[in-house]
Amino acid sequence: MNTFTSRDGTKIAYDVRGSGPAVILIDGAWCGRNMGPMPKLAPLLAQHFTVYNYDRRSRGDSDMSTDYSPDREYEDLAALIDIAGGSASLYGTSSGGALALFAAARGLPVDRLAIFEAPFTDVPGGKPMPKGYQAEIERLVREDRRPELAKFFMVKMIGMPAFMMPMMWFNPHWKAMLHNAPSLPHDTAVMEGYGFPTEAARSIRVPTIVISGDKTFKQLKEPVRLARETVPGARFASLPGQSHDAAAELVAPVLIDFFSGAATVRAAA
C-alpha cells in the first residue's frame, strides 16, 4: 500500500502495479481497493498499463473526511494523476464514472476517459432522489448510524425493495460495506443532484467510451444513452449478459483496446 497527502491534508491510500501508460481506477459507492470490481480488474489491466487503484476518501485505508465538497475529490484525483506522471486515463464505475466525467470536464489532464453506468438517474424515465437526501446522508454519518445509512441509501435512493434489505446482512461484504459507509456523502455530493450534466458532457474533449451491461437496471439505461450521445465522439460498448456489477473479465478487453488507442473497440463476447 502507498499513500499520498491531498491538498487539504487527507491521507489517500493507493496501490500501483504493472507498467506502461497510466490508468487510474475510480470506484463507486461502497467499494474500494480491496472490495468491489477493481481488485479483479486491476491485475488484468496491469498486464498492459501502470494501474493505480485508490481508496477514495473516507473508505478503505484512506483518512476519514467530513468535507463533502466535490472539489476535495477532484483534488485527490489531481494529486494521484501527478504521481502517475502528470496525465492518466481514467476508468470510473457508477459514481466513480460521474467523478471521472466531471474531472475531464474540469480540465484535469486526462488522456482517455472510460465511464461505466454513471447513475445520473434524475432524468425522464429515471428515479429522482428524495428531498433532503444529502442532509439525511450526512446526519446518519455524523450520528454513526451505519445500518440505517445503508438502508436509506439502498432503499430510498437506489430503489431496492425494502424486503430485500435483510438479505444484505448475509452478504459476505456486509462488514466491509459498513466500514465504507461514511464515504456515501462523498458519492452523493459528486453526483451534483443526479441530473444528467449536459454542459459538462458536451465540454469533454478527450477520447471517451461509455460502457454498460445490456441487462442493467432500467433507471440506468437513459443516463447511459445520454452519455453516449452527448459526449463528443463518444464510443459505446455493451457487455452481453451483464448488469451494474459487470464481470472484470468482460470489462478488461474493452478497456485494453480503448486505452491502447485501438481504432475500434470490441464489446466483450
pLDDT for 173: 78
pLDDT for 41: 98
What does the chain look like in DSSP terms, one character per residue?
Answer: -EEEE-TTS-EEEEEEEE-SSEEEEE--TT-BTTBSSHHHHHHHHTTTSEEEEE--TTSTTSPP-----HHHHHHHHHHHHHHTTS-EEEEEETHHHHHHHHHHHTT--EEEEEEE------STTS-PPPTTHHHHHHHHHHTT-HHHHHHIIIIIII---GGGHHHHTTSTTHHHHHHHGGGHHHHHHHTTTSS--HHHHHT--S-EEEEEETT--HHHHHHHHHHHHHSTT-EEEEETT--TT--HHHHHHHHHHHHTT-SS-PPP-
Class for the domain spanning 2-125+191-259: alpha beta
pLDDT for 269: 40
pLDDT for 188: 97
pLDDT for 267: 56
**What average pLDDT values come out for the chain (269 residues) when binned by 10 residues?**
97 97 96 93 98 97 97 98 98 97 97 97 88 97 94 90 79 84 96 96 97 92 96 96 93 97 58
pLDDT for 96: 97
Show me where the domains of the chain are located: 2-125+191-259, 133-188
